[in-house]
Amino acid sequence: MIKLFVPGRICLFGEHSDWAGQMRKFNSDIRPGLALVVCTEQGIYANAECSEKLIITSLDSDDKEISAEYNMHLPELRKVASEGGFFSYIAGVAAYMLNYYRIGGMTLNILKMTLPQKKGLSSSAAICTLTARGFNKLYNLNLTTHGEMECAYGGEQLTPSRCGRLDQAVAFDKGIVHMKFDGDRLNVNPAKIGAPLYLVFADLNAEKDTMTILRDLNSAYPYPKTSEHRGLHILLGEINERIIGEVTAALEEGNIQHAGKLMTEAQSLFDTYAVSLSPEELASPTLHTVLNDTALKQWVFGGKGVGSQGDGAVQFIVRDSECGTKLINYLHKTYGILAYSIAIPKTAAVRKAVIPVAGHGTRMLPATSVIKKDLLPVVDFDGKAKPMLQILVENLRSSDVEEICLVIHHGEEELYQSLFGDTVEFAYQDDALGFGHAVLQSERFADGEPVIVCLGDHLFTSNTEESAFTQLIAAYEKSKQLTIGLFELPLAATPHYGVAKFAAETALSVLVEKPTVEYAKQNLQSNGKYYGMFMYVITPHVYAELRYEFDGNNTVENLQLTSALNRVTRKFGAIGAIISGRRYDIGLPEQYRITVADYGRV
Ligand code: UTP
């Protein structure tokens, strides 16, 4: 059985640009649509397992259990989808996916919906995404987030409901995503936030008719016929591009005040260019009464309408979480409206880590002929005997690393899932062609982001408040360059490890894998000391170098990480971060003895 969660979403900037951008199919003068969308903390929780049929249980709005059962037959599922209603979304996605993938059925138990329905938070897109994710995970389809979005969208298209592409942002789970709509093409990427962002969102309890708004605004597309039509094209085109560009930069810099100002400006531009096309719906008296309330200024940086606009809902960027609470109380007291807050934490400089555990572990034979090296037991600080890898994964998680990828052999998934459940992802290396080759297999997981690379046979403790990994991430955040976590080595130990030499203060000049003692002594001293490399934050340049080396040499038997790191160091520079702490090796018998004796003592 697997657990599933999918949130709702609110469009922060760029509403209506999704369908407008799609119109580029018909009129290439239209600019691509751009939007920033935030995923809510509220969402839909479910569990799912494989079964022969599609069996759904859920709760209706009065918390009464409802259920349905369908055969996994295309005509039956399509018919259910076309009839509309709650189950139609699930049946639609099942039909869409059955058409493209070899899937069986699914028992989907929807346990909890904390998402207010029909409040413009996109609960239908969330249900569709949840269904797509369930099939993806249960049948190991290996779909990316984009793949899940396509299936969710394709499934919803089989129902009478017509959600925009913007709603598919919910597939991203949390944070803010940047979306681009270019004809039928959709690009979605997580946006970076340089400082915590606090939002307040409230339903205005007023009247609005989304269908009328959409019909009225759509009349200006694809070819503008009047000056008002041209105004809307400019608003959803050039103006939207400028605002999204500025707000993206402001959020990345952590200039939340400026982002708030842009939110207010976006509303005033919407009023200037869009309202005359649908005056009844878009004059939005209630929205403007709330937005123009001067008492709000003390708490908010800016605000605007939500979704299709009109008198539906309002959103604010607030100064901090305390201001958010005060605003929520005020809105309730003064206008009788219920508001929710959303806090979006600063984006971590490094969110992902890779741990290769596909080596032979020959230096730990014969133990490693019956147990993988990374599963050798070590007693943790909590007194529990754990497979060493479990301690490493727990340390990464407590250092705020969100996604962890293990490089394993095919067939080992179950073993690691029994330890970590769904919290780890996998990449595969079936032949041990070297540490660099193992890292290269995680290129898709990294997806252009910087990632921590750990040795799968080392543990770390810290001498400071910050963990060893947090120290490494902090060093990367300052330089945004390849960053290597170093520990001092006695000269005699240098032949067992990769050794780095400093050029200047923090910059590294050269990295050498397992040098001889003589070579290290002659060439690798930094201020009379020797530094071994034990953890890394690698950049996309490192993957590019690994790929270049691997593709250029199909007889390679041992692709080292160090040679790729050396080339990146020469071309783009690299930082050495001396970690204040201690390292524990599991990969050499004498070192393992020390690790078992010393690690986890309080
Ligand atoms: P080591 O260099 O210690 O290699 O790998 P190894 O194969 O585990 O051990 P020996 O040298 O035979 O004793 C460091 C980490 O990189 C992984 C290992 O599983 C270990 O976690 N690794 C190494 C791979 O995943 N693939 C490889 O081809 C090599």
Distance from Cα 355 to the centre of ligand 1, integer Å: 10
Together in a domain, 372 and 340: no
457-508: pLDDT as tens digits: 999 999 999 999 999 999 999 999 999 999 999 999 999 999 999 998 999 9
Together in a domain, 200 and 266: yes
pLDDT at position 555:
77
Distance from Cα 11 to the centre of ligand 1, integer Å: 46
CB 26 within 8 A of CB 222: yes
Ligand 1 atom 10 nearest Cα: 361
Q: Which two tokens stand for residue 492?
A: 């005699």
Which atom in ligand 1 lies closest to the alpha carbon of residue 587?
Answer: 3
Which atom in ligand 1 lies closest to the alpha carbon of residue 360?
Answer: 7
From 346, 373, 398, the end of a domain falls on 346
pLDDT at 115 over 70: no
Together in a domain, 383 and 488: yes
| Closest C-alpha to 211, from 278, 116, 115, 266 | 278
Distance from Cα 415 to the centre of ligand 1, integer Å: 18
Together in a domain, 331 and 413: no
What gap in Å lies between CA 273 and CA 254, rounded to an integer?
A: 29
Q: What percentage of the chain has pLDDT greater than the value 70?
A: 98
CB 532 within 8 A of CB 486: yes
Together in a domain, 372 and 483: yes
Q: Which residues of 314-343 are buried (b: 16+ CB within 10 A; e: fewer)?
A: bbbbbbeeebbbbbbebbeeebebebbbbe
Distance from Cα 242 to the centre of ligand 1, integer Å: 49
Start-to-end CA span in the chain (Å): 38
Which atom in ligand 1 lies closest to the alpha carbon of residue 374?
Answer: 21
pLDDT at position 179:
94
State whether the beta carbon of 432 lies less than 6 angstroms from ligand 1. Answer: yes
State whether the beta carbon of 558 lies less than 6 angstroms from ligand 1. Answer: no
For 78-233, list the strands marked E by DSSP: 105-113, 176-182, 185-190, 197-203
3-class secondary-structure state, position 175: coil
CB 88 within 8 A of CB 81: yes
Distance from Cα 520 to the centre of ligand 1, integer Å: 22
State whether the beta carbon of 358 lies less than 6 angstroms from ligand 1. Answer: yes
Together in a domain, 257 and 392: no
CB 88 within 8 A of CB 22: no
* Chain CA centroid to CA 37, Å: 13
State whether the beta carbon of 67 lies less than 6 angstroms from ligand 1. Answer: no
State whether the beta carbon of 373 lies less than 6 angstroms from ligand 1. Answer: yes
For 185, phi then psi, to 5°, come to -85, 140
Domain of 116: which CATH number? 3.30.230.10
Domain of 198: which CATH number? 3.30.70.890
State whether the beta carbon of 2 lies less than 6 angstroms from ligand 1. Answer: no
From 191, 206, 227, the end of a domain falls on 191
Containing structural domain, residue 39: 1-191
Together in a domain, 276 and 390: no
DSSP labels, 379-430: E-TTS-EEEHHHHHHHHHHHTT--EEEEEE-TT-HHHHHHHHGGGEEEEE-S
Select the more confidently predicted residue: 237 or 602.
237
State whether the beta carbon of 361 lies less than 6 angstroms from ligand 1. Answer: yes
CB 561 within 8 A of CB 453: yes
Distance from Cα 308 to the centre of ligand 1, integer Å: 54
Tell me the mean pLDDT in the region 577-596: 97
From 297, 314, 346, the end of a domain falls on 346
pLDDT at 568 over 70: yes
pLDDT at position 118:
54
Together in a domain, 219 and 336: yes
Among the residue ranges 143-152, 158-167, 230-239, 250-259, the one predicted with the least confidence is 158-167
Distance from Cα 358 to the centre of ligand 1, integer Å: 7
Domain of 505: which CATH number? 3.90.550.10
pLDDT at position 116:
61
pTM of the full structure: 0.74
CA within 13 Å, CB half, 547: 9
Burial class (CB in 10 A: 0-12, 13-18, 19+), 53: middle
Which atom in ligand 1 lies closest to the alpha carbon of residue 456?
Answer: 21
What gap in Å lies between CA 87 and CA 127, rounded to an integer?
A: 9
List beta partners, residue 190. 177
Q: Which residue has the tokens 């923090």?
A: 506
418-451: pLDDT as tens digits: 999 878 999 999 999 999 999 999 999 998 899 9
CB 179 within 8 A of CB 19: no
3-state secondary structure 471-519: HHHHHHHHHCCEEEEEEEECHHHHHHCEEEEECCCCEEEEEEECCCHHH
pLDDT at 106 over 90: yes
State whether the beta carbon of 564 lies less than 6 angstroms from ligand 1. Answer: no
Which atom in ligand 1 lies closest to the alpha carbon of residue 434?
Answer: 28
Q: Which of 354, 355, 360, 405 to mutate to test the pocket of ligand 1 (most atoms within 8 A of CB)?
A: 360
CB-based contacts of 353: which residues, under 8 Å, 6+ apart?
Answer: 396, 401, 403, 404, 405, 451, 452, 453, 454, 469
pLDDT at 163 over 80: no
What gap in Å lies between CA 271 and CA 181, rounded to an integer?
A: 23
* Chain CA centroid to CA 269, Å: 31
Distance from Cα 307 to the centre of ligand 1, integer Å: 51
The chain-wide mean pLDDT, for the chain, equals 93
Distance from Cα 133 to the centre of ligand 1, integer Å: 33
Among the residue ranges 16-20, 160-164, 585-589, the one predicted with the least confidence is 160-164
Q: How many domains does the chain have?
A: 3
Ligand 1 atom 7 nearest Cα: 359
State whether the beta carbon of 443 lies less than 6 angstroms from ligand 1. Answer: no
Distance from Cα 560 to the centre of ligand 1, integer Å: 11
Together in a domain, 172 and 259: no
pLDDT band at 233 (very low <50, low <70, confident <90, very high): very high
State whether the beta carbon of 359 lies less than 6 angstroms from ligand 1. Answer: yes
Together in a domain, 88 and 10: yes
Together in a domain, 115 and 170: yes
Together in a domain, 432 and 512: yes
1-59: pLDDT as tens digits: 889 999 888 889 999 999 999 999 999 999 999 999 998 878 899 999 999 999 999 98
- Residue type at position 588: L
Ligand 1 atom 20 nearest Cα: 456
